[in-house]
Amino acid sequence: MIKLARILKIDEKTVELQLEKNGSCGDCNKGCSDGFLNFIFPKNTTLSVSKKQEMLSQTHLDDKDAFFSQKYQKGDVIGMKFNENQLFKLALALYGLPILLIIVSLLFFYYLFSLVDFNNDLGGVIGLILGLVISKNVIKLNRDKFKPQVKFFK
């Protein structure tokens, strides 16, 4: 996935970027929504890129190839190519994990309620709701740990 970003601020330790709105990806030009990137990076948040090793834990992205060591200024537009394998794994976590948790918890509570002679359907509904809550929290916790691998280009 290739996205364009504008440099908002650049200094010796970090670079602040803003993803270009309504810009289609440079690799497929299908004009898909930015919903997946909004999951990775919360809305209305500027992306921070670390230029120095000591800033890695405080930023969204890393400049591993020293791309920003060249002369770039505020307002320049740069490209960002996201690692496809890593995005695929995140998509599995974003879509597959909730579905799996919902199905497992629904079946577990349906079976559990049938064992104790309660209404099976009520157990299924409780399992469905519990699966949704658990999957939401698991995804929220893992999103904070996720730092995508990005290659920058002009």
For residue 67, the model assigns a pLDDT of: 82
- Could you tell me if 50 and 13 are in contact, meaning their C-beta atoms sit under 8 angstroms apart? yes
Say whether pTM exceeds 0.75. no
Cα–Cα distance, 112 to 106 (Å, whole number): 10
Copy the structure tokens of residue 2: 């290739």
For 36, 78, 93, 140, the CA distances from 88, given in Å and listed in that order, are: 11, 23, 9, 18
First to last CA, the chain: 15
pLDDT tens, position by position, 31-78? 454 556 666 666 556 777 877 766 666 677 777 777 887 788 888 888
63 burial class (0-12, 13-18, 19+ CB within 10 angstroms)?
buried
